[in-house]
Chain A
Amino acid sequence: MSERAKGMNLTLKVWRQNGPQDKGRMVTYRVEDVSPDMSFLEMLDVLNERLILEGDDPIAFDHDCREGICGMCGMVINGVAHGEQVATTTCQLHMRHFEDNAVITIEPWRAAPFPVVKDLVVDRSAFDRIIQAGGFISVPAGSAPDAHSVPVKKVDADAAFDAATCIGCGACVAACPNGSASLFTAAKITHLSLLPQGQPERDSRAKAMVEQMDAEGFGGCTNTGECTAVCPKGIPLDTIARMNRDYLRASK
């Protein structure tokens, strides 16, 4: 760390768009003396502080937990959703991975079902509607049996967990050439259909979620695999196969 403590100078090309109706454009900013230990969002914070003092509109971007779990942040950095670091959200990306004097392009998620709200902020409410369609197990509070009444095989519990780690950031959609939400939808279907508790609603869930995904205007899956490559949580591609099997099973 310390040997690189000298600040970096960078050129940012950032997508600015004043609202859904605005056409939008790339705007170039110089940022100087960027510490390699800064996170990517901290680098933008510093730029925004400057823009505010200059009376300019700061770059709007979504973020919240800044520890890679809430799923709120997301930018396409140099053409890659969340940047080139593997299994990393934008907030967990640090400037030590960039070269001095680099030119960095920063764009929002681009997909028709994710309209731009402002600058790098997009509307991902389509994901909530996919969950509404069936991404749950119906259990009114207080009606549950003792937790040990149904044992679950460890391998199933672990595989369910792997799928359940999805943070709903939408990078999978942004990376997909078809703008497909298959990985997101499949992650939830896989999580719940691997567990005994998820069986009673398994068919109706798969059917309703897939149909909602299509109704939102997301594209189909052509097994490109870009989604899993950019996924900060490494949700495996075979969840999509499971989704398709469950959907077929339900459609019989």
Chain B
Amino acid sequence: MSKRNERAGEQSTSADVTGEGGRVGGVFYTEGEPIRDTKAPEGPIEDRWEKRKFSAKLVNPANKRKLHVIVVGTGLAGGSAAATLGELGYNVTSFCYQDSPRRAHSIAAQGGINAAKNYRGDGDSIYRLFYDTVKGGDFRARESNVYRLAQVSVNIIDQAVAQGVPFAREYGGLLDTRSFGGAQVSRTFYARGQTGQQLLLGAYQALERQIAAGTVKMHTRHEMLDLIVSDGRARGVIVRDMVTGEIERHLADAVVLATGGYGNVFFLSTNAKGCNTTAIWRAHRRGAYFGNPCYTQIHPTCIPVSGDYQSKLTLMSESLRNDGRVWVPVKAGDTRPAAEIPEEERDYYLERIYPAFGNLVPRDIASRAAKNVCDEGRGVGPGGLGVYLDFADAIRRLGRDAVEKKYGNLFEMYERITGEDPYTQPMRIYPAVHYTMGGLWVDYDLQSTIPGLFVIGEANFSDHGANRLGASALMQGLADGYFVLPTTIGDYLANGPYGEVDEEAVAEAETAVRSKIDKLLSVNGTRTADSYHRELGRLMWDYCGMERTEESLRKALERIPELREEFWENVKVSGQAEELNQALERAGRVADFFDLAELMCIDALHRTESCGGHFRAESQDADGEALRDDENFAYVAAWEYGEQGPILHKEALDYEYVKMSQRSYK
């Protein structure tokens, strides 16, 4: 079935890679058969979703309540999906690890949600949103999916407004929009700096309504620890009740994972502390392919790290870049306070390098530019890991009041965390891991390679290619949950029933979960799970972060297995299995992050091109910009789990509508 692939082993660019020890210089993966999406209809792109909706089989309304669907996660994707499936009449069971479905991390999204409403008449259209998303994703997303996303975007705004989401409005009573994250049209709807919160509460309220109606059964403080696959189909989950520690089995006709991204593999990220990869990683172990794991997004405007104890990073909405100007001192090692650095000794480097887009270049470009100036020794603040985001001009131009109205809550948040006043001294910002474009591979129906397992929202590899545009995560989560999945899952369920669930498969999954917990509790070593997580995160940030090289990735691939081995021999988890045990929860998640980290590095090593958020230092043009290699890499890397190492399946990407071109924001 698979031939050995030596690509990762062939190109040694650095003398430091000696090939000694471990798997360095060896072969990290094998290549299997290509994979493709078989669900997107042929024909004009604007008709494909209509066609698919019509060709999807319908479930007899009387049968819907007999069909049981499990939805894991209650963020924008999971919350909206569970609510909508409940409304349609399915028998839904929903799980979240928080104490209420309202707390999922979608709630922290600040900036806004894109939609091709063209309410401004500024030249926006479904086609333009589609075009911008394909291009912004650096030509590594599927055209059919992206077009559908742009189509559905307009319905999301209608749905949210009808639910009472209090979007910003103008005095005429109509919705306000703004331009966001490098878009040249004003298509971003927002609710102050709390758009994610307001959209999530809309979905949460719809979900609670279904819980009251009895169509959705909600289990809070439950964590999915394994997927039940019976006769080749996803038929349920094993979960742990995080209060009692009880291991429970829940069976269903289909399973939906809406468990978010895996940015916490870096330990420090803008994700919530509880965000983890366990649900999708366990599904991957059970046969779901993992798409493009190396595509991670580093957000350019986060508050810099202040010390070793740091537990997470906080994002400042990138809307700040609309009025703030990014700069560093011209001279390296200039430690004068910002106010003492005269204008001519400041380098507004984004405006200088990218005159057309200036401070509004896409996230990947802004982040790497910040890293570059810091690498040159021109960074500001503790450790030189920061750049200024300066509002002095905006305050002069618009007045302090106007700036406060627009950004007041963000400025306040900044002051709260840093103790510095951004009205009188420039903010310090630095890039941080924010979003993962990679995730479980899905077809046009959002179904993974395990029949009956659907994956939505950030958890799938989805529609953003190698780089997500600002304000598009909320759009995708809600498109998947409210509009796409409820249609496509019906087609799968209508083709059932799929028979009894094999008791042996359930027992096996349950035993696997119990033995992992027992093992973690029995090691009784000398280091906490968090300390390993921190070390793993540091290693991933240094070797598989904003800039990756063959050498750095090989180092990571040498170090990760060593560290993982040490973890399993030396981790200390206190307490018992049958109680609320937060140390145990963390240890289980860290164990899966180790495995995922390895796959991310293999993916990053094999993709020798640069694209979007994946920057390989070996692949850049004369100006230091990311250089794609369309001839060799215009594909999705879908990784199959294999005991002897991962197996790569390539999904070729064809661009019929948007002509592939090198991105340029100059």
Contact = CB atoms under 8 A, between A and B. Distances in A.
A164 B307 CA distance: 34
Interface string A29-63: 00000010111011101101101110111101011
Interface residues of B, number: 84
B416 A88 contact: yes
B173 A152 contact: yes
Contacts of B208: 128, 131-132, 135-136
A141 B84 CA distance: 6
B159 A66 contact: no
Given A53-B572, A136-B209, A147-B161, A141 B87 contact: yes
Interface residues of A, number: 79
Interface stretch (B12-20, B162-170, B287-295): B162-170
A interface secondary structure, majority: loop
A238 interface: no
B63 interface: no
B483 A142 contact: yes
Contact of B100 (A92, A124, A139): A124
Contact of A64 (B273, B531, B580): B273
A67 B108 contact: yes
A21 interface: no
Contacts of A70: 98, 103-105, 107-108, 272
A118 interface: yes
Contacts of B84: 140-141
A125 B99 contact: yes
B162 A137 contact: yes
Contact of B164 (A35, A51, A191): A191
Nearest to A118: B580
Interface stretch (B191-199, B387-395, B540-548): B191-199
Given A151-B173, A168-B100, A58 B311 contact: no
A79 B211 CA distance: 36
B191 to A, nearest CB: 6
Contacts of A46: 309
A249 interface: no
B573 interface: yes
Contacts of B205: 131, 135-137
Given A60-B580, A64-B105, A71-B103, A125 B220 contact: yes
A151 B482 contact: no
B636 to A, nearest CB: 29
Contact of B162 (A65, A133, A144): A144
Interface string B290-331: 000000000000000011011110110000000000000000
Interface stretch (A99-107, A154-162, A214-222): A154-162
A56 B621 CA distance: 55
A181 interface: no
Contacts of B272: 64-66, 70
B265 interface: no
Contact of A45 (B197, B206, B309, B580): B309
Contact of B155 (A60, A88, A117, A142): A142
B159 A141 contact: yes
B606 interface: no
B583 interface: yes
B528 A52 contact: yes
A158 B167 CA distance: 9
Contact of B172 (A94, A139, A151, A160): A151
A73 to B, nearest CB: 10
Contacts of A92: 413, 416-417
Interface stretch (A8-16, A172-180, A192-200, A240-248): A192-200
Contact of B197 (A39, A69, A125): A69
B372 interface: no
Nearest to A71: B103
A132 B419 CA distance: 40
Given A65-B107, A65-B272, A141-B84, A154 B100 contact: no
A197 B530 contact: no
Residue of B164, B310, B580 most packed against chain A (CB within 10 A): B164
A45 B486 contact: no
B583 A161 contact: no
A252 interface: no
B166 A157 contact: yes
Interface in B167-217: 167-175, 191-192, 194, 197-198, 201, 204-206, 208-209, 211-212
A96 B100 CA distance: 31
A108 to B, nearest CB: 13
B558 to A, nearest CB: 27
A62 B105 contact: no
Contacts of A132: 208-209, 211-212
Contacts of B198: 161, 164
B243 interface: yes
Contacts of A137: 162-164, 205
A25 interface: no
B159 A144 contact: yes
A121 interface: yes
B415 to A, nearest CB: 10
Contact of B483 (A52, A117, A141): A141
Residue of A69, A124, A154 most packed against chain B (CB within 10 A): A69
B521 to A, nearest CB: 12
Nearest to B311: A42
Nearest to A208: B212
B312 to A, nearest CB: 5
Given A124-B99, A141-B482, A148 B175 contact: yes
B108 A94 contact: no
A126 to B, nearest CB: 10
Contact of A157 (B168, B307, B309): B168
B158 interface: yes
Given A145-B162, A161-B166, A195-B164, A65 B583 contact: no
A154 B98 CA distance: 34
B607 interface: no
A83 interface: no
B522 interface: no
B574 interface: yes
Contacts of B87: 140-141
A157 B169 contact: yes
A138 interface: yes
Contacts of B107: 65, 69-70
B511 interface: no
A142 B159 contact: yes
A37 B419 contact: yes
A6 interface: no
Given A132-B211, A135-B205, A142-B159, A1 B98 contact: no
11 contacts: A35-B307, A52-B583, A65-B272, A70-B98, A70-B272, A88-B416, A92-B417, A125-B100, A128-B100, A137-B162, A141-B482
Given A67-B312, A136-B206, 10 more contacts: A1-B420, A45-B309, A53-B526, A64-B273, A72-B98, A117-B243, A128-B100, A128-B211, A131-B204, A131-B208
What 4 A-B pairs come out closest when comparing CB atoms? A151-B173, A144-B162, A136-B205, A132-B212
